[in-house]
Structure formats: structure tokens, C-alpha cells
Amino acid sequence: MLGSISKYIGVDSKIFAQTGAFDAILDVDSKLFIDPHLLKSTQAPELSGSYGKFCKRFEHILKLLANSRHINDVLWKEADRKFTFSEVQGLCIGYCLSGTSGSGMGVGIRTNTLNLAKQIVDLGINDPEIFELMGLFQDGIGADRISDMVGRIIVDDLLEYSRRIFSNFGLRMQKTVFEGRVYEGIVNPVKPHNNSPLILLPKDILRDEPVAYCWENADKIFTTNKQLRQNLNAAIGKTWKEVIRRFNKKNLRELLLEDPELLKDLIENYKNKPFQSYNFDADINGEIVWYEKSQYYVQNYPLESICDKNLKPENLLSSVLLICQKFKDLIEKYGLSEFFYIKNSKETRKESAAQKLFYGIAYGYSLDSNLVLNLQNNTGRLAIEFQTKPGRKKVLVETKLTTNSRNINWFKTQIADLQQDDANYCRVYIFIDILGGSRESFKALQVTLSKILPDQKKPEVIFINARPKYTR
């Protein structure tokens, strides 16, 4: 199902926003993360002790590692057990675009990370913040895994936070089950079969990129080691921003292990960084606005010609093309082109936001038909697969922006792949030309399409002009 939490529980989105909770889009993950650094400043009363829980867990792990004599001794195994985190499903955050469930941390990544933590603690550094910074210098650790760890540790606080907000709206609480334990809450509509709870997140603990990854020129390196300071200044400059930009994870790891004082300075700089969560009002990354825009345009510019619960498989492609053409009209004629441009900024929307926008539009127009839409996550590309129910025929639609410099080579590969598809599979490609995109590549795509031989399979291609009218 596609819909926001507020829509699901029947509460006006503006009223829901007053709670401070993230109005997540059910079954479509955003690229937002729980940032442990922000737990210190959250206004959610249920999370007042959450950062303490987080630190306590990692202080214990570091203590176990400090006393461990070798890998796989009793203390090491206990540290490994405490460092085992599965993802808390149903939070609607992270990089999983094929639904709101993802992966936890595998054995290999866990072992390598504990090895590094052991090296650090043996240097006399036992600050739990090193686990918040692991993504800077440990392979396999990124914002998503840090977020998973935090979510797992504070899940009880999040469940209590969710219960309060839902009950304040006067909603009837149900008995929900989370990992064998019973909680009062609202059943997650994405996973109703196991009675799992819908878990809310405070917006003030979410970021699109963790604080640990964001460094400024003001973040000066301070070390009493004069020789090290001179070497650093000569090689990379005087700030952590320069170090992190120029060093890959392996080299940064070696640098920090070589001089513990430098690692201590990194930790202290990190501790003092400001608390700034994702700006949902500006929503630069388009995490929410795609849903709001698609809801508005579907409601105000209906497409009644496919409101048929008995669409036949042989009419699948023509119905999908009607949706694509309507999408084109909304952009070129009815103002949806504004979506691609961020207010008070020269930046444009990311391609992933455009892909979600098409999904929202297509989903809305398909509600009263027997069309089934499935999200496909193809190596980071969000595509939508259409199918009638019943029916074996399928149509895959992919949306691209001309700001993507790889479009031409990608399109040529797609045409080659198309030749291997069976007769029941069709492909549609939507190319949207926006400011900052290459008009030359836009024309080159059209030339590539025209060169497909008569005996070759040819995809359906929709070209859309989303440039402001004064630039067309």
C-alpha cells in the first residue's frame, strides 16, 4: 500500500506534524537515518535516556574487548553477541527501495569492526563515540548500519513514543507483537499478518547524512605532536574536512591507528559538533514532497480512462502509456515541472525523487483498476513493474533525468537487454529534461532510439520537457 502514516490512521497531516513525528510513507523507504549524535538533543521525552543506552552498550563492548586475549575467547564472543544487530523492520527509513525491510550486519563485517575496535581500545581509547565514527574508516559500515544499530538499541523507547502519540489521537490501541513481546499500539499495515507494531520516529533524530560524515573548515585538527602537525599541514591541510575528503577508509584507518592523539582529536571534534536534523520544511532531497505532489495532482487532474477493474492483459501496455502520457502532461502543461526545482536554491531534485514521483502518480491513477504495481530496485534505480491481475504480461517503466551523465550508455545497454526479453515483457523509458541537464544527451538519446533496426525490439520512450517555460 502507498500512503502516509497520518493518512492510514485518519489524522490530518498538518495536525500529525505537530507531534514532531516523521510522517513516513508506508512501504517506501526514505534515504534518512537515525543519527546517534542527535539523540542527545531530541525533544521526545521517551527518548531522554536513549543516548545513555546507546553509550552503555558500546562501553560494555569496549570493556569486553579490552580484556579479551584473542579472537573467539569467551569475552570476544560476548562482545560479538552484543554487537549483533538485526534491522528493526517497519521504520520506513534507509536505502531499501523495494519495500521497508532490509538487512542487518553480517558476520564478516561484524568481525572486522570488532577487530578494529580492539586495536583502538588497546591504544587506550575507550570512548563509545568511536562506533558512531566507524563509517569513516571501516569498510562495510555506513549510515544505514549505524542507524540500524541505534534503532535496535532504543526500540523500546520508540515503541513507547509511538504508543503515546497514537493514544493522544484517541486511536483504539491494539495488542501488537514485537519479537515475542506484546505492546499496545497500532498494527503495521505493511505487515499485518504477524501483528507487528507501527513504529514512529521523532523527526529531530533523523538526517540524510550522519553528523559524523559532515565536516567543516571550522573543524580544525589539534595535536601536540609538532612533527605530526607539520606532516599533516604539508600533505592535506589543517582541518578534518580536508583529511576525510582526501583519505580513503583504509588510509584514514592507518593514519588514526598510527597516532592515537589524532584519533582522540577526531573524537573530541565530533562530540562538539552541533545538533542539526534533516530540514523537512525545505526537503531538499524530496523525501516527502514527491508524495504530497502526487496526491495533489492525482486528485485534481484525474485520469478516468483506466478506472477499470477488468483491464485485459492485452490492454496493459496501452494503459501504462496513458499514465505516462498523463505524467508528461502534468509536467509540461499543469505545473508539475516545479517539483524538479528546489525553492531558493540553484539545485535540482535528485533522480530518485523523480522516480518516486512517477510511482506516486501511477499508483494514484491505478487505484480503481486491476493494475498491480511493484517497485523494483535495480542496482539503485527505482523502477515500477505493472501487471494486470490476473495476467502474465508485464511492463517495466524507468524514469531518468537528463542530469544523469550516464544516460546514453545506460540506454544502449537497456536496448541490448530488451532483445532478450520474452514476448510478455515490455519496457517503457521516461526521460525528463531539466535545467542543468545536457540537451545534447537528450538529442543523442533520440538519435539512439532512431537507429534501432526494424527487426529489433524497440522500447516505448517518453521524452518530457520540464525546463521552465522561459528557457524552452
Q: Give DSSP secondary structure letters for 267-305.
A: HHHHHTS------TTT-TT-TTHHHHHHHHHHHHS--GG
pLDDT band at 431 (very low <50, low <70, confident <90, very high): very high
Measure Cα distances from 247 to 35, 106, 236, 240, 242 in Å. Answer: 23, 26, 9, 10, 8
Q: Give 152-191 pLDDT, tens digit per residue.
A: 999 999 999 999 999 999 999 988 888 888 888 998 888 7
Look at 17-21, 143-147, 250-254, 303-307 and tell me which has the smallest mean pLDDT: 303-307
Give the span between the Cα atoms of 329 and 173, in whole angstroms. Answer: 44
Look at 100-114, 263-277, 318-332 and tell me which has the smallest mean pLDDT: 100-114
Q: Give the Cβ contact number of residue 14 at 10 Å.
A: 9
Give the span between the Cα atoms of 111 and 348, in whole angstroms. Answer: 41
pTM over 0.95: no
Of 186, 96, 185, which Cα lies nearest the Cα of 147?
Answer: 96
What is the mean pLDDT of the segment spanning 275-294?
A: 94
The pLDDT value given to residue 178: 84
Give the span between the Cα atoms of 141 and 256, in whole angstroms. Answer: 17
Of 415, 81, 240, which Cα lies nearest the Cα of 232?
Answer: 240
Which residues, including other chains, have CB under 8 Å from residue 231's CB and lie 6 or more apart? none
114 pLDDT above the threshold of 70: yes
pLDDT band at 129 (very low <50, low <70, confident <90, very high): very high
Residue 173's identity, in one-letter code, is M
Phi–psi pair at 139, nearest 5 degrees: -60, 140
Measure Cα distances from 52 to 35, 36, 88, 150 in Å. Answer: 14, 10, 19, 11
HSE, side-chain direction, 13 A CA sphere, residue 266: 28
pLDDT band at 224 (very low <50, low <70, confident <90, very high): low
48 pLDDT above the threshold of 80: yes
The pLDDT value given to residue 211: 83
What is the mean pLDDT of the segment spanning 54-72?
A: 95
Phi–psi pair at 258, nearest 5 degrees: -70, -30
Of 317, 411, 327, which Cα lies nearest the Cα of 361?
Answer: 327
The pLDDT value given to residue 199: 93
Higher pLDDT, 466 or 215: 466
441 pLDDT above the threshold of 90: no
Q: Give 354-366 pLDDT, tens digit per residue.
A: 999 999 999 999 9
Phi–psi pair at 93, nearest 5 degrees: -135, 165
| Residue 380 backbone class (left: φ over 0; alpha: ψ -120 to 50; beta: rest) | left
Crossing angle (nearest 10°) for helices 351-366 and 289-300: 40
Q: What share of the chain has pLDDT > 70, as a percent?
A: 91
pLDDT band at 98 (very low <50, low <70, confident <90, very high): very low
Higher pLDDT, 228 or 459: 459
Q: Give 367-379 pLDDT, tens digit per residue.
A: 989 999 998 876 6
pLDDT band at 17 (very low <50, low <70, confident <90, very high): very high
Residue 367's identity, in one-letter code, is L
Look at 86-100, 332-346, 440-454 and tell me which has the smallest mean pLDDT: 86-100
332 pLDDT above the threshold of 90: yes
Of 363, 468, 365, which Cα lies nearest the Cα of 374?
Answer: 363
- Long-range CB pairs of 100-107 (<8 Å, 24+ gap) are 100/26, 100/27, 100/28, 100/29, 100/190, 102/29, 102/144, 102/148, 104/148, 105/145, 105/148, 105/149, 106/140
Q: What is the mean pLDDT of the chain?
A: 88
Which residues, including other chains, have CB under 8 Å from residue 462's CB and lie 6 or more apart? 321, 324, 325, 327, 328, 428, 429, 430, 431
Report whether 340 contacts 370 (CB < 8 A). no
Of 451, 455, 395, 447, which Cα lies nearest the Cα of 425?
Answer: 395
